[in-house]
Structure 1
């Protein structure tokens, strides 16, 4: 018999209380001497509780070509033809045809701010599209071009979220403003012309909406002429056979193809995923202890749950905002207000979307304001439970943000779980070997070509 959510909630709370109290006991059931097989058993039990009875299957990603089991937008069904097109367009610097300066033409792509080496997010505190110069090894070497002043730079006002596992996000952006359903049902009055959320009127979910608005917002385009020029016309025809030709080669269809590709970006080769599928040696004992803390007395899964260890929730945990000291342009006041900056609701101020947790080992910055530079710093911050941002007073803080009283050893184990068990080290499988324009990617400026060792075709 399946327990109701209410009864599961009572059971979870009760068990968490027992686990938390046990942390101070000398006979703590989770210790460095607990056998690996016993850790496996305890973790399986913890996952059964955290998933409200679903068990380990609740956390398993599908394969990236198992389209029927990947969460998708019913108005943009996943197909092989569409995803193949999107994979190329995501990396296509040839779409960069609307720059503010002529020298920026054909020098950037979606992957400029979402590259695989950094876990499909920016390698810098802020992503830079047009006006960026260089790449480095994982995007960390991209800097503002001296010929661009701040008003011309395409630079993000907040840390760039990852595209990894975005299939499990129905609303996107840190404030969740993109996506026509779920959290945004009832906010239609805010979808005004000229705003990013205006694209919600198309009726798509978050990933699709973001991909569509992202092309025009970041000075890219798709037209019948571009599709013909670069050789994408036949791919669009195969991906969108039901669209009339007059609507087939546009930023909307290009965005839908990109979103299709993004939904296949799953960290399904991470150690935790292998463990869930039966390879118990895929996680070390320290990582297993860390997982037990994550799903137990660390209370992490109260916000981070499901396959991507993310939810549709928003939480105010007092992290600092992006400041101008990081790059040439600081964060905007609205982006620093979180969900409340979009909705205007006071009780949602400073609440940001709960992010997914895979491949954080690749991330150089953490928090919406890039105020942390290591995962350990984030865990220690949450363990202290003291807000970093003076603007986020007790009135706004999520009640779950409180001192966790984890020991140093527990913090060590939790970091190991997050860094290594949730790390898929083979994300390069999602990068195409080339694109149809023959331009270098993810960037195509002269310094990036040198950094990437790329010679345009």
Structure 2
């Protein structure tokens, strides 16, 4: 489709292998696919993920033990990957810390600033580099491996180490030579080609525009009655489309929706509290506090739990919250969060809620306009959101590979 960035199919096939190859993690024990798995709609089914050091997949993933056990949960819900290759996408991550921009002459405004390499083919390629350098996502602790140790000095010093790991494998080397004009011999493979291959895979693999809603838009069969009533509510009385707009049902802007606070937070060096200030963490602007990027809604029925921290287990719960954030927050219970029990983290999981000053600060920032919805109307909006599920959403072009060139196990 013309609405999507063009990617080379041969490069996407390399990206498929890299996406599931744990060679890109510091300790070779986790891949991109671990937290964005085909069988889980491109996510992991957890409120807050278990990253580097964990064992297993999805809701059954556990925290590891001994010296390899995890030190904290991933602070935010693993976002799904649907349609991120759309040309309209200009901002990524829950806090928008990656944006298309010319400020550093590499095409992007990112945490790597001027150290992000040039030659990345898309914002998807830039995005792919950051989980690789995250201590708790894929890199590991500085004392454990050379990748994490290099990141401790400066973020860009780790990427050449990962590139060397990949190009040293004959199968990868040959694939890159055959598929990239910039690669004449395996030694030419850099982190740029690796990121571009991952982008080619993500950008093509997760395209999905064949839902009942799309058929209706194109003059096909009408939506089921409940979904049609939900569509009218979504674009009308309920006001959902004020933020969930455009082809991807996201304005790519930032809004404070008053979600329950829990988890380790995204602490900063000068702000060690276990809280998540959202967009403010990227901009340091007070007016951005507690605001998060509007998620797209295509295939949203496949990507529970919901919210930037996965606070709500079902679409109905999330719709209720969006309609009445204050009332829904008051009724929220910790057991609604899907957090595998980790004894040494249990005490910290909800500690932020005992800070009445922080809770008051968060409560004072709310962008949602309450709207009165009956249970029947919530059911109708839910039916419309389900109608955004692609018919082939669970039948992806490439899928999960059985094996990868490194020989490491595939989740």
Is this a same-fold pair by TM over 0.5? Answer: yes
1:267 and 2:211 aligned? no
How many equivalent residue pairs? 346
Asked if structure 2 preserves the Cα contact closer than 8 Å seen for 1:125 and 1:365, the reply is: yes
- Determine which of 71, 76, 82 is the counterpart of 2:4: 71
* 1:423 CA drift (Å): 4.9
- Determine which of 396, 402, 408 is the counterpart of 1:434: 402
1:190–1:116 CA distance, 2 compared to 1 (3 A): closer
Q: Secondary structure at the match of 1:293?
A: helix
TM, length-normalised to structure 1: 0.68
1:146 and 2:65 aligned? yes
* 1:380 CA drift (Å): 0.7
Asked if structure 2 preserves the Cα contact closer than 8 Å seen for 1:293 and 1:299, the reply is: yes
Q: Deviations over 1:320-357 (max 9, x none)?
A: 2332xxxxxx2223571111111111111111011111
* 1:118 CA drift (Å): 2.2
Which residue does 1:177 correspond to in 2? 97
1:418 and 2:385 aligned? yes
Where structure 2 has 5 or more consecutive residues not aligned to the other structure, the ranges are 140-146, 148-160, 269-274, 330-358
User: d(CA) in 2 for partners of 1:82 and 1:178?
Assistant: 23
* 1:280 CA drift (Å): 1.1
- Determine which of 366, 382, 388 is the counterpart of 1:397: 366
Asked if structure 2 preserves the Cα contact closer than 8 Å seen for 1:175 and 1:342, the reply is: yes
Q: Secondary structure at the match of 1:260?
A: helix
Counterparts of residues 310-389 of structure 1 (less than 5 Å): 310-323=250-263, 330-334=264-268, 336-386=276-326, 388=329
* 1:363 CA drift (Å): 2.3
* 1:418 CA drift (Å): 0.9
Asked if structure 2 preserves the Cα contact closer than 8 Å seen for 1:316 and 1:351, the reply is: yes
User: d(CA) in 2 for partners of 1:276 and 1:185?
Assistant: 40
Which residue does 1:134 correspond to in 2? 56
Q: Secondary structure at the match of 1:179?
A: strand
1:421–1:342 CA distance, 2 compared to 1 (3 A): closer
Q: Larger Rg: 1 or 2?
A: 1
User: d(CA) in 1 for partners of 2:77 and 2:113?
Assistant: 19
* 1:439 CA drift (Å): 4.2
1:366–1:279 CA distance, 2 compared to 1 (3 A): same
Counterparts of residues 1-400 of structure 1 (less than 5 Å): 62=1, 69-72=2-5, 78-96=7-25, 98-99=26-27, 105=28, 107-135=29-57, 139-148=58-67, 153=71, 155-168=73-86, 169-181=89-101, 195-196=111-112, 200=116, 202=118, 205-217=122-134, 218-219=138-139, 222-224=162-164, 226-229=166-169, 231-243=171-183, 245=185, 248-264=188-204, 265-280=206-221, 283-323=223-263, 330-334=264-268, 336-386=276-326, 388=329, 390-394=360-364, 396-398=365-367
* 1:239 CA drift (Å): 2.9
CA RMSD, Structure 1 to Structure 2 (Å): 3.1
Which residue does 1:20 correspond to in 2? none
Asked if structure 2 preserves the Cα contact closer than 8 Å seen for 1:126 and 1:155, the reply is: yes
Asked if structure 2 preserves the Cα contact closer than 8 Å seen for 1:115 and 1:442, the reply is: no
Q: Deviations over 1:18-73 (max 9, x none)?
A: xxxxxxxxxxxxxxxxxxxxxxxxxxxxxxxxxxxxxxxxxxxx3xxxxxx2433x
1:408–1:189 CA distance, 2 compared to 1 (3 A): closer
